[in-house]
Amino acid sequence: MGVTNLPVSPLAPKSFPELPEVGGVELTTFALGLYSGTSRDDLLVVHFPNGAAPGGVFTTSSTRSADVDWCRSALKSSEVRARALVVNAGNSNAFTGQAGIEKNRATTAAVVGLAGCLDTNVFLAATGVIGEPLPPTRVADGVRAAWPALGMPNWEKAANAIRTTDTFAKASGATTEIEGRAVNIVGIAKGSGMIAPNMATTLNYVFTDAPLSAKAAQALIARYCDLTYNCITVDSDTSTSDTLMLFATGASGGETIYDPDDPRLEGLRTKLHAVLKDLALQIVRDGEGARRLIEINVIGAADDHAARVIGASIANSPLVKTAMAAGDANWGRIVMAVGKSGEVVERDSLAIWFGDHQVAKDGARAPDYSEAKASQAVSGELVRVRVDAGVGDGQATVWTCDLTEGYVKINGAYRS
């Protein structure tokens, strides 16, 4: 697989963040050799010595990977508990039939032998080329080789190991309190292309030492996925491997909390939402070939769902995205994208802003429209678009990036 040494996105953070320690987590990385011509690490192995409460959200794709099937099944086990996470990059283990199932069986068997746990305590993920079967023991052999090196997390190495066309390692962290005890959260992510809601296309893992039950972990990750990852898009394509998981080790101490709305979790809820939003926006900032981050705020829709649909229609329009790439204030393309959304819109009340400058009002060009001001508003690294649909109180925010020639070059060389 090629395309692994791309120029860093101009929208990337200036440095990898400083992250807190999360108790109850140890990890290591390893080079399986799935990227020809490189020696990069492409395997992440995480161990929870005392277990962790897991929760997860996965792709809605009907051609999902064998790893997604495995994780969904494991989350439904009668005594759901995580003891290990194994992630490889370079091969998605999707559309691989029986070979994909055998790869997972061999991998979980290796972890069971090393960790002394049940196979349903092991969670798996893979990302990369679709439809290329691996030898059944390729990942399992890597797990066995990597296991002795497990130790205190090096989050930057972990984030780098799961990258494909990402141009920078993605991570975010936060600290809060529960009943006076410090609680830490760290998340890592990969994603750059094949990004669209339906659980946005990416692999993401969030670790906390908060004392959550599996029920609470599941409820929280689903809630904040919907407000963050399900509101981003790069190219409207939904992956076979989308995974967002939360692992709560309870190492911070205190009694297990079962209710996701428990008042004691107020700080955790706020910080978890912030971490997930940060990771989601880093993915958009690393959109393949991206030079601009575009924030689309829709108000005045029939309801919040309608607002999100309208926002996604704008965000996924190649005509809108290419105009933004050129710094072209072509607000007519916004009108087009709103109209094709299928949602109720009051044409003669429709209003549009680029930044703080109103470009359309009451279904026509705004009286104070300025081409210079509109062009300036769409020429920076961050472009803000606001649309008032004119029919109700629904609102939503969707994030995307521009569409440049870089996207074509990266995806044209993806397998070469």
**Does residue 201 carry a catalytic annotation?**
yes
How open is the CA angle 344-387-282, to the nearest 5 degrees?
115
d(CA 89, CA 93): 10
d(CA 158, CA 170): 10
Buried b vs exposed e over 224-245: b needs ≥16 C-beta within 10 Å?
bbeebbbbbbbbbebbbbbbbb
Encoding tokens for residue 209?
């030492």
No. of H helices and E strands in the chain? 11, 14
Catalytic residue among 59, 108, 165, 201: 201
Nearest CA to 247 out of 68, 77, 82, 16 is that of 82
Whole-number CA gyration radius for the chain: 22
Integer CA distances (angstroms), 146 to 27, 46, 47, 77, 92, in order: 9, 10, 11, 27, 20
d(CA 120, CA 64): 19
The four Cα atoms 155, 65, 277, 280 give a dihedral, to 10 degrees, of 80
One-letter amino acid of 255: E
Nearest CA to 182 out of 209, 155, 150, 158 is that of 209
β-pairing, 82-91 vs 122-129, is parallel
What is the CB neighbour count within 10 angstroms for residue 160? 23
Residues 6+ apart with CB under 8 A from 372: none
**Residues taking part in catalysis:** 201
